[in-house]
Amino acid sequence: MENRQNLVDSPRLIVFLGSIMAVVPFAVDAYLPALSLIADHYGVGLVEVNLTVSTYLIGHALGTFVGGALSDQLGRKPLGSFGLLLFSASTLLIALAETIFQIQVYRIFQAIGGGFAAVVCMAQVRDFYPKDEIPQRMASVMMVMLVAPMIAPMLGFFLLGFGWRAIFVVLTIYSLSLLCVFLLRIPESVHNLPERFEIRSLFSNYWRVVTHKRSGRYMASRYTLFSSLTSGVFFAYLTNSMAILTQYFSLTQFQFCLVFGFGGFCAMMGTVLSKRLMLSMAPMRIASYGNCIHIALLLVVWILSLTEQLGLSGVLVTLFICVSVAGGIRTTVAGVYMTFFDRLSGAAASLHSTVIFLFGGFIGALAAMLSKGSLMPIFGIMFLTSLAARAVLWNMRLDN
């Protein structure tokens, strides 16, 4: 195996970790162009198929909640390997599913496996790199991961020529190749594992993360809540983008893929910008400014949606800016958050990702159920979650 220090110093490690974390956006974004075909195939409504997105987000939250803390006790490689194997098997079963209910069930297991793999990679960033490098390194990993939402919709659209099931077959092959990379190239990053597994230690580690204080305040938990609410803006867009663009504005599937792919590019550019700004500005100050942009923009768009004066160009500009800002904020906050923890980095990554995806799944599903062909509830929920995120930042020092 390649020398550990050589691998850590090589950009290949960033690419490896980012590619493994990319199974999450691939699992969600690649099949978005096929949602209407899946609905027709099983004779169900598009809303019912849209809920498979929220099902995945909630299952992913469960996987990240369990996976990170387990990896603190069992090691990163066993949990990461099992997660990729479970993801691959569940993805193949989705391709073979006979009912929409089976897809919902398999999506849960697929999401749990993807959660295991993604949270292990997030913890390994903390394991491999010095504390002062983590925000920058985390941003680099996220940039690699964000290539997936750029290309996934177009890949899914292309594979529709072979039937919608081909999307899941290709995703199975991709995840199995990542499993080989993980087993052969990524070293174990935890070297002082407990002598035996204890359920009590699992939950006590979570409690230590939740109650972690800095300067007498629960800063880590507040950062997680802020990031979760901000991510709710992105997940509301993710869950409802197909309905907004193809049903409300009558875009074709190909046009939808182009728009969604550009949204992924915007998220990546937001991450790139935040990484550059961190060279001269405190990370949480960047996040605060981004939140202000969300609030101001979404307030205007929500008012326009109330008066039904919101056209396609206004919606697209809003969504692109919101996705870009959300991508930059999430990366920035995650990097700062992980600097608070050392030995408990797995449990810390678990709780952070779990809360984000639980909030995201709930907010996205709520927006989908309330929309009923209207843009107003969707943008209203996005605006309210941004205001709630602002409240979390209230009375916080942002320049530390």
Confidence band, pLDDT 50/70/90 cuts, at residue 389 = very high
Listed in sequence order, the residues at least 6 apart from 138 whose beta carbon sits closer than 8 Å to its beta carbon are 122, 125, 331, 334, 335, 338
Give me the sign of the Cα torsion angle 379, 385, 388, 389. negative
Asked, for residue 47, whether it belongs to a domain, the answer is yes
Integer Cα distance of 36 and 44 in angstroms: 9
Residue type, 123: A
What is the phi/psi pair of residue 127, to 5°?
Answer: -70, -40
| Average pLDDT of span 350-357 | 82
DSSP 8-state class, residue 10: S
What is the domain-level CATH number for residue 287?
1.20.1250.20
pLDDT of residue 355 exceeding 90: no
With a pLDDT cut of 90, the percent of the chain lying above it is 20
The answer on pLDDT for 314 being more than 70 is: yes
CA pair distance 332, 271, nearest whole angstrom: 8
Tokens read off for 120: 């292990």
| pLDDT, tens digit, 9 for 90 and up, residues 234-293 | 888 877 777 788 878 888 878 888 888 888 888 888 888 988 888 888 888 899 999 999
208 in a structural domain:
no
* Inter-helix orientation angle 76-95/46-74, to 10°: 160
Residue 302 lies in a domain: yes
Higher pLDDT, residue 284 or 7: 284
Rg (CA), the chain: 20
Whether 81 contacts 27, CB under 8 Å: no
CA angle, corner 35, sides to 31 and 41, nearest 5? 115
Cα separations (Å) of 284 from 8, 141, 203, 233? 27, 19, 29, 18
- Top mean pLDDT of 126-135, 155-164, 168-177, 385-394 is at 168-177
> 35-42 and 46-74 helices cross at what angle (nearest 10)?
110
Is residue 364 in some structural domain? yes
Query: pLDDT (tens digit, 9 = 90+) per residue, 167-213?
Result: 999 999 999 999 998 888 888 877 777 667 667 776 787 888 888 88
Asked whether residue 4 is assigned to any structural domain, the reply reads: no
Other Cβ atoms less than 10 A from the Cβ of 266: the count is 23
Of the candidates 365, 363, 355, 359, which has an alpha carbon nearest to the alpha carbon of residue 381?
363
pLDDT the model gives residue 328: 86
For residue 154, being part of any structural domain is answered with yes
Q: Which of the 8 DSSP states describes residue 311?
A: -
Highest mean pLDDT: which range of 93-102, 325-334, 349-358: 93-102
Q: Is the residue at 365 inside a domain?
A: yes
Within 8 A by CB and 6+ apart from 152, the residues are 25, 26, 28, 29, 30, 32, 261, 264
29 is a domain residue: yes
Burial 67-104 (b: 16+ CB within 10 A, else e): bbbbbbbbbbbebbbbbbbbbbbbbbbbbebeebeebb
Residue 3's pLDDT band (boundaries 50, 70, 90)?
A: low
Which band of pLDDT confidence, cut at 50, 70 and 90, is reported for residue 216? confident
pLDDT tens digit sequence for 103-146: 989 999 999 999 999 888 888 888 888 877 887 888 888 888 88
Please tell me the total count of domains within the chain: 1
Percent of the chain with pLDDT over 70: 94
Contact 349, 119 (CB under 8 A): yes
Cα–chain center distance at 257: 19
Reported as a pLDDT band with limits 50, 70 and 90, residue 385 is very high
pLDDT one-digit tens code per residue, 364-384? 778 877 877 678 888 889 999
Amino acid making up residue 89 = A
Question: pTM for this one?
Answer: 0.76
Those residues with Cβ within 8 angstroms of residue 96's Cβ, 6 or more apart along the chain or in another chain: 165
Q: Which domain holds residue 34?
A: 12-187+217-393
- Residue 4's pLDDT is 59
Query: What does the buried/exposed string (b/e) look like for 337-357 if buried means 16 or more CB atoms within 10 Å of the residue's CB?
Result: bbbbbeebbbbbbbbbbbbbb
Q: What's the pLDDT at 83?
A: 94
- What angle separates helix 283-306 from helix 253-277, to the nearest 10 degrees? 150
pLDDT of residue 400: 57
